[in-house]
A = this chain, B = another copy of it.
């Protein structure tokens, strides 16, 4: 395992429609949460560099400012602060870059913040509509559901995956979200509600889709050898991987999987020196129900084509063989782009430290995995592996 960098604090603000909080206020709330999670206390002035994940500050009055307004807003004006953008995996990539900054020896205490304002504009004017505007020739009309729906129909065609299987992903994640005080949605839903919700793009209906959510989350990274100054329950960065794919639908080599996820996870597994069967739990990118099924296959948790059945069989629920999206996932916790991943990593951090309350899973090997895919649906994937030595 790599394990050169330790995560000594992580936290988030409650996700939701946060019209009452500015971008900077959300960032400050996340930093406060992560600082307060440091076991032996945390002096903010220790932070010597920050990496801020925001996909589309541009749309929310942050034009030309990037992440560099954040230090001033959190009382740390002066520190280096870099905005990392990599579509939906922006936060996972900020975490990876932060880890490399620590491992390089250049920075010691690094703050990673993910923050995104999604709800201050109408859906038509908003981030996801613009995210799909993309290439002027190929992509008009391609909203996010339109980019993922062909993967669902093809998966159904080749493997017999059903709408009921998709619906069970949503039911499971909303169940988990109901146990997560930070989730945007905290109500149980039924398979029937998913099946009967309004159609968006066949075969995806409204409850097959994640909501638009405001939120922020933060993590504090230090060199592994300094972890003991901050905590006696350190969590380490075991490895990570990033992979790109051709971004446009007409260039895709398959519609039953996301090759970027396969490549990113292989790189992360190799760096961490382990495989999917070692993973205790995972937070994966369930922007749509079909995406979670693709994810658990592409990450190696389930054989290709068997993802839907595995969900039906309860393999991915709390207490199952490989619990997936214990936090509620994007479907229930929400998907404030830059913040999504840092919140996923916070859930992994809590699970590895056995602090996840009603959502706690069995920690056998001390390995948690976080995954994203994004960029016109599947142009890029990032996987981070967190580890905690099992005693």
A interface residues (Cβ-Cβ under 8 A, vs B)? 49, 55-56, 58-59, 61-69, 71-72, 77-87, 90, 93, 96-97, 99-101, 103-107, 127, 130-136, 241-247, 251, 263, 271, 374-376, 379-380
* A244 in contact with B81 (CB, 8 Å): yes
* B97 in contact with A64 (CB, 8 Å): no
For the complex formed by this chain, how many copies does it contain in all? 2
Question: In the docked arrangement, what's the CA distance between A96 and B51, Å?
Answer: 13
* B106 in contact with A69 (CB, 8 Å): no
A65 to chain B: which residues have CB within 8 Å? 87, 134-135, 247, 375-376, 379
A245 to chain B: which residues have CB within 8 Å? 72, 77-78
In the assembled complex, 27 residue pairs joining A and B whose CB atoms fall closer than 8 Å, in A order, are A56-B64, A61-B133, A61-B134, A61-B136, A63-B131, A64-B134, A64-B374, A64-B376, A65-B134, A65-B376, A66-B85, A68-B86, A68-B244, A72-B245, A72-B246, A77-B244, A77-B245, A81-B244, A81-B380, A82-B84, A82-B86, A83-B84, A83-B85, A84-B84, A100-B104, A100-B106, A103-B104
Question: In the docked arrangement, what's the CA distance between A137 and B316, Å?
Answer: 47
* A242 in contact with B80 (CB, 8 Å): yes
Contact of A69 among B55, B132, B247 (CB under 8 A): B247
A246 to chain B: which residues have CB within 8 Å? 72, 77
Question: In the docked arrangement, what's the CA distance between A59 and B57, Å?
Answer: 12
Q: Which of A80, A93, A100, A263: most chain B CB closer than 10 A?
A: A80
Question: In the docked arrangement, what's the CA distance between A56 and B130, Å?
Answer: 13
Question: In the docked arrangement, what's the CA distance between A244 and B243, Å?
Answer: 31
A244 to chain B: which residues have CB within 8 Å? 68, 71-72, 77-81
A97 to chain B: which residues have CB within 8 Å? 82, 97, 100-101
| Distance to closest chain B CB from A15 (angstroms) | 20
Question: In the docked arrangement, what's the CA distance between A100 and B82, Å?
Answer: 13
Question: In the docked arrangement, what's the CA distance between A221 and B100, Å?
Answer: 15
* A380 in contact with B68 (CB, 8 Å): yes
Question: In the docked arrangement, what's the CA distance between A287 and B72, Å?
Answer: 24
| Distance to closest chain B CB from A218 (angstroms) | 17
Question: In the docked arrangement, what's the CA distance between A66 and B58, Å?
Answer: 12
A105 to chain B: which residues have CB within 8 Å? 103
Instruction: Return the chain B residue nearest A132 by Cβ.
Output: B64
